Amino acid sequence: MKSSAKILVIGLDSADPSLLNDWSGSGDLPVLQALRGRSRWGTLSSPLGLADDGAWASFSTCVSPARHGRYFTRSLSSGSYDNPPFRDEDLKFETFWSTLDRAGLRMAVIDVPKTPLAKTFDGIQIRDWIVHGRDGDIASWPKELAAELFDRFGPDTADDWSRDGFLCEMTQLDQPRLMALAKELSRSVQHKRQVSLELLGRGNWDLYLVVFKETHCVGHQFWHLLDETRPAYDPSLARQLGNPIKEVYRAIDTAIGDLLELAGPDTYVIVFSDLGMAANYTGEHLLDEILVRLEPAAPPWHENPSADMERTLGAAAEGSAMGRMGPEHRRAIQVQHNEISGAIRINLRGREPHGLVRPGSEFEDLCATLSRDLLNLENAATGEGVVQEVLRTSEIFEGGHLDMLPDLFVVWKRDAPIERVRSDKFGELELHSPRVRTGNHVKDGVFLLCGPGIEPEEQSAAASITDIGPTIAAILGSPLSDVDGKSLLS
């Protein structure tokens, strides 16, 4: 039976829990501090090994990545070595708001990243307006709303891959563009606040859901300004900009306060972050060469050994790891992923076009050996390990689309740069990291939940990002079925 409850849900894309905690305690985020005092709150666990693509897709569908099929902006499939783009419409599971829409609930869903526009929708949905990692042009229900927003505010230059002036790049920006990005993020927070208040005031919503992307972009590009000991720290930029990360968090805190006031005291409220942030120390640039060097001296060539060897020896003169050993000649292949963890696909018989590794014990033994070898890698600069853990996707995820995910995730340690590694198997390898963004994702976010009848308390056990949708549905009296998450009220 449909409830008379109303719920306001505010997502803070990749807002770091430690910064939220510190700045709430210091008085810089007074709205969140007051909200926490009347909320159940705690850690919100994200899908292991994955960054924002997998986290947001799991939030919107309430299921495991092995069920919705998304691990990154790239995809994998049986019968190919390709790593083509994963489009939002490629999700293999329905969003929870599409389910609730059919139940007759009135909803506004604004800028949830990495998720498709519903095929039909009776409320308001806005996709790819002001988001990090957009999939295409802004789109909406009603359809004319997208054009209205574009006409009023123009393109989002911080996160529009299709237009000149794109600012939140995969590499670190120079000082003039950092300053331009800081201004753009300040501007976009105000645009999202303005439109969110307008739309919230327009209708009697059962669910009003909005995501602020600015905490994501500012963390990627300005993380080095949090630490004066970092090599990338720029005193002159810090003097000019102050602390851009704190300023973005403070602006969003103010916007949250305005939304709470308009929503009213009897509205349920959830505020959450999908992931954290930390210094972007990564071994992504080393992984493929490491895997090549861990290949046996005499690989188990398939079908036509002499022809395969001839092609490989001919390619060796090209000099690159992939040139020396193309994917068809390797047991383990790096595939594209966020710098949070290296992604490895095993060249499996019956799945890959020229599979070398037999399913069963041979596959299991290779995964175990690779895991040991990677965990034993040493950072030559510090003497410490470079890998925090190696995750087997088949052990942490369940679902019918498991083959759309890599087989292993190599989660990097984040305490020091990784440019020179040692191994008992191949000796020393040195490759300098490209000029990557100074901040990047770490697992787990945070949630706050308050409303009529909910007693304030700090959660000792983590909730899952797949639990937010079922909690919303339970509050609104329309429980979801066939999802992995569960209501936080049960």
- Cα–Cα distance, 103 to 386 (Å, whole number): 49
Q: Where are the domains of the chain?
A: 7-280+439-475, 284-430
Helix count and strand count (H, E) for the chain: 16, 19
Residue 321 has pLDDT above 50, yes or no: no
Q: What is the pLDDT of residues 110-162, one digit of tens each?
A: 999 999 999 999 999 999 999 998 898 999 999 999 999 999 999 888 887 66
What pTM was computed for the model? 0.92
The one-letter code for the residue type at 376 is N
Structure tokens at 224: 């080095």
CB-based contact 194:84 (threshold 8 Å): no
| pLDDT for the residue 322 | 42
Distances (CA, A) of 137 to 142, 152, 163, 184: 15, 15, 11, 18
| pLDDT for the residue 47 | 97
* Span 339-354, average pLDDT: 96
The enclosing H or E element of 99 equals: helix 96-102
Q: What is the dihedral of CA 155, 221, 86, 113, to 10 degrees?
A: -60
* Span 397-422, average pLDDT: 96
Task: Please report, rounded to a whole number, the percentage of residues in the chain having pLDDT higher than 90.
Answer: 77
Structure tokens at 105: 């609930």
Sign of CA dihedral 64, 69, 72, 76: positive
Residue 403 burial (C-beta neighbours within 10 Å; 0-12, 13-18, 19+): middle
Structure tokens at 442: 């770490």
CATH topology of domain 7-280+439-475: Alkaline Phosphatase, subunit A (3.40.720)
* Span 437-456, average pLDDT: 94
CB-based contact 443:45 (threshold 8 Å): yes
Helix 30-37 to helix 244-263 angle (10° resolution) is 50
Q: What is the pLDDT of residues 270-305, one digit of tens each?
A: 999 999 999 999 999 999 999 999 998 434 433 343
- Cα–Cα distance, 231 to 323 (Å, whole number): 33
Question: If pLDDT is split at 50, 70 and 90, which confidence band does 197 have?
Answer: very high
**DSSP-assigned states of every residue in 372-415:** HHHHT-EETTTSSBSEEEEEEHHHH--STTGGGS-SEEEEEP-S
Question: If pLDDT is split at 50, 70 and 90, which confidence band does 309 have?
Answer: very low
Bridge partners for 334 per DSSP: 344
Which range scores top for mean pLDDT: 90-104, 307-321, 425-439, 446-460? Answer: 90-104
Bridge partners for 442 per DSSP: 276
* Span 81-103, average pLDDT: 96
- At residue 214, the 3 state secondary structure works out as helix
